[in-house]
Chain A
Amino acid sequence: MHRVPAMAPGNYGMPVTLIATEALTKRYPNGVTALSDLTVDVPPGVIGLVGANGAGKSTLIKILLGLLPPTSGRVSVLGMDPTAEPEQVRARVGYMPEHDCLPPDLAAAEFVTHMARMSGLPRAAARERASETLRHVGLYEERYRAIGGYSTGMKQRVKLAQALVHDPDLLLLDEPTNGLDPAGRDAMLNLIDRIGSEFGISLVVCSHLLGEVERICDTLVAIDGGKLLRAANISAMTKASDVLAIEVTEGGDALAARLSARGLDVRADGRDLLVPLAGDETYDVVLAAIAELDLPLHRLDQRRHHVSDLFRDTAGEPAHVG
C-alpha cells in the first residue's frame, strides 16, 4: 500500500485523502489492460500524474470522473465513490481535457457561463463566476470575442477556466501545457501553481514530461503500463537527497577518481559531477580535492535533486517516465 504521508501543504479544507484507489483494475473489452492492480492514496495538494502516452493516465481520469466503470477494485474521490454517485463527484470536480474542446463560434464569456450552468450554478452566479474565472486565468478584455480567433495559449486558458468556473474541490488537468511555446508553458505552470497555493484547490496534473510537473507538485504519482511505479511526497523524496554539482573546465575524470577515493558517491551528469550533499564537510572535501589537483573550477552549486533521478532506477529515461 503506497500511502503518501499527509503533509498537507496549504489549507485545502478537505478530507485528508483526496483520491484513493485500491487494487484498481481496468480491462477493456478488446483485452487491453489499461490499469492493473493500482493502489494509491494521495492527500490534497498538487499531484503530478506522470507516465508515458498509453500508461493509463486517461483511463484513470475517466474512472475518477465516473465516466468509466473499473473492472475491479475500489476508488474514492473527495470521499465519494464515482462509480456509485458519478453526478455528485462531477459536480465537485473540474476537468480540462487534453484535446481541443472549444466551440469556435461562441465568445469565451458565453461558453464559460454555459458550462457553469451545466455544473449546476444558477444563472446570475454562473455569469458572475465566468467573468471572475476568466479574469483569474488572464482573459478579460478578450472574453467577448469568439474563441475561434484565439491563440493556442488563450484557448488553453479558456479550457482551464471552464474547469474552474464552478469552483471545484479538485481539478483534473490532462496535459495542460500541450502545444504551448516555452513562455506559454511557464505561464500555464505558474497559473496552476497559483490555483494550488492561492486558490486552495487540489489539482491532478497529468503529464508525460516529468521535468514539468515536478516544479509545481507536492505529490508525484508515476504510472507505467497501468501499474504504479512510485507515489511519494516530493519534499520528502528530495529532502535527504540534495546534491552538489561541480563543474570544472578540465580534469573532470581525475577529480571524479579523487572524490571517489575520499568515499563520495560521484556521478557524472553531462559536464557536471554530482555528489550527495551531506553537510558543510562535503564542500570542504570537494574544495580540497580541486585545490590539490589544481583544477580550474567553473561552478559549484547546491542543486535540488531532480525527481527524475528518483525514478532513474525504475524507469529507463530520466526525464521521461515510461
Chain B
Amino acid sequence: MSVEKQPSGVIHDIGYQRYTGARLGRSYATRSLYIHSLRTALGLGRGPKAKIFPWLAEGILLLVAAIVTAIRAQGGEAVLSYSEFAGQLSFLLILFCAATAPELVSRDLRSGVLPLYFSRPIRRSDYAFGKLAGMATATWLLLAVPQTLMFIGGVFSVSGVSAVWDETIEYGQGLLASALFALLFGAISILIASLAGRRAVTAALIVVAFLVTTPIYAVIQEVGSGPVKQLAGLINPVTLVLITNAWLTGDDLEGLGGNYGAIYALSTLIAILVCVLLLLLRYRKVAR
C-alpha cells in the first residue's frame, strides 16, 4: 500500500487586480438590461420552474400554428390568417403578460434591487424602457415564432411567384399585428406590474385590466346599435388592437368598427403612449 502524495489544492492568491478594460456607457447598460429582461421573460438562465409557463404558452401557440398549417396543406383553406392568429389567441397572450410582467418589474420592487440599478450609469427612464422593451419583445416572439412556422408551411402550399409574394405580405402584416399586440399588452402589463411589489397581486390586476371591460363590450354588442356599437371596441385592449389590425389589413369591419377604423388605430397609438408616459412618471417617483 502506498501513500500517494497528492498536491494539495493550493490556491495562489494573485491579489486584487484593477480593471483596465473597456467601460461602455449608458446605451450599452440599457441594452444589457433589455437582454436580461428578455431572457428573464423567456425563462432563460433561470431555474426550470421559470421556464414552465413561457414554454408551455409557446408550445400551445406552436401547436395551433402547426394544426392550421396542416389543415391548409390538406385542404388549401387557411382557417386562420396571420393577423387573425394573435387576436384569436389573445387569452393566452393575456395570461403570458400577467405571468411575465410581475416577474420583470414587481420582483425588482419587492427585492429592493432598484437602488442598485439607479446607482449605475443609467437613468430611471432607461430602466423603464429596458424592461418595457424586454416585455414587448418576449410577447412579440411568442407570436412571431408560430407565425413564421405558418409562413414556412404556407409558402410550400402555394404555387407561383406572385402567390409567394402575397403570402409574404400577409406574413408581414401578421408580424405587424403581433407587434401592436405586444406593444399595447406589454405597456399595460408593465405599467400595472410597476405599481406593487407583490407578484400575485399585480398578476391578478393585469388579468382584471384586460378582462374587466369584456362583459360591458359584449352587452353593448348585444343591445347597442350604430356608432355606439361600432365604437364599443375602444374600451377593451383586445378588441382595440383587433379592430386596428383589421383596419390596417383592409379586412371587412362590418359589425366591428364600422367606419371608425382610423379612430381605432389612433386610439391604439394613444393608449400605448399614455401607458409609456405613466410608466416613466412612475419610475421618476419610485424610491426603492
B21 interface residue (CB < 8 Å to A):
yes
**Which residues of the partner chain A approach B112 to less than 8 Å between Cβ atoms?**
97, 99-102
Any A CB within 8 A of the CB of B250: no
B21:A115 contact, CB within 8 angstroms: no
Chain A CB count within 10 A is highest, among B17, B28, B116, for B116
Partner among A103, A146, A167 whose Cβ is within 8 Å of the Cβ of B18 = A167
Contacts of B26 in A (CB 8 A): 87
Say which one of B58-66, B82-90, B119-127, B268-276 lies at the interface with A.
B119-127
Number of A-B residue pairs having CB atoms within 8 Å of each other in the complex: 99
Docked complex Cα distance between A125 and B32 (Å): 14
Nearest Cβ on chain A to B61's Cβ, whole angstroms: 26
Interface size on B, residues (CB 8 A): 35
* Secondary structure dominating the interface of B: loop
Asked if A318 CB lies within 8 Å of chain B CBs, one says no
Contact with A along B18-47 (1 / 0, CB 8 A): 110111111011001100100000000111
Interface-central residue, B26, B108, B111, B120, by most chain A CB under 10 Å: B120
B96-140 interface with A by 8 A CB criterion = 107-108, 111-113, 115-123
Q: A118 and B122 in contact (CB under 8 A), knowing A103-B108, A125-B19, A200-B18? A: yes
The interface residues of chain A lying within 8 Å CB-to-CB of B113 are 101-103
Q: Are A87 and B119 in contact (CB under 8 A)?
A: no
**Is B15 engaged at the interface, CB distance under 8 Å to the other chain?**
yes
Provide the residues of chain B in CB contact with A91, threshold 8 Å: 23, 25, 120-121
Contact A120 B115 (CB under 8 A): no
Most buried by A among B16, B36, B121, B123: B121
User: Are B111 and A117 closer than 8 Å at their CB atoms?
Assistant: no
Residue among B16, B25, B107 making CB contact with A87, cutoff 8 Å: B25
Out of B21, B115, B121, B288, name the residue touching A119 (CB < 8 Å). B121
User: Which residue of chain B has its CB nearest to the CB of A147?
Assistant: B111
Contact B23 A121 (CB under 8 A): yes
Show the binding face of B for A, using Cβ within 8 Å.
15-19, 21-26, 28-29, 32-33, 36, 45-47, 50, 107-108, 111-113, 115-123, 288
